[in-house]
Amino acid sequence: MNIIIINGPNLNLLGKREPEIYGKLSFKEYYQELTEIYSDHTLTYFQSNSEGELVSKIQEVGFTADGIVLNAAAYTHTSVAIADAIAAVTAPVIEVHISNVHVREAFRHHSYVSAVAQGIIIGLGLSGYKLAIDFLLESSQT
């Protein structure tokens, strides 16, 4: 299977940014672990701090990828454009958040992505990405 992980703003700072919330592991380190675990599949990774680049990437891969694991980060709560891009493509999208957004600031309680995602994984740390990939792999076999 061909699965792409797309991360939004500030997730390039994982391991440095608020480690009490996001942990001490960088996403680059975690992605290396994922590529070893899923060596029989094609995993790719894209990160951007720009909303337009995220929309363009979703449009670019959304008709050819077998699944998208998306952590839109702060754009989750503000971007109709990202939601529209997800709704326009055929690849299933699993929304992932490292922290439990529902125990954080009130503005984080709303997601534009959730309404168009196939599923949502919230608050399970980096392992949420692995759970999303496992789901996509299992659901492709049914």
Every domain of the chain and the residues it spans: 2-140
Q: State residue 109's pLDDT score.
A: 65
Residue 95 has pLDDT above 90, yes or no: yes
Q: State residue 17's pLDDT score.
A: 76
CATH 3.40.50.720: does it fit domain 2-140?
no
Q: Which residues are catalytic?
A: 22, 97
d(CA 104, CA 136): 28
Query: What is the longest distance spanned by two Cα atoms in the chain?
Result: 41
Q: What's the pLDDT tens digit per position in 106-130? A: 766 689 999 999 999 999 999 999 9
Q: What's the pLDDT tens digit per position in 2-53? A: 999 999 999 999 888 777 777 788 999 999 999 999 999 999 999 999 999 9
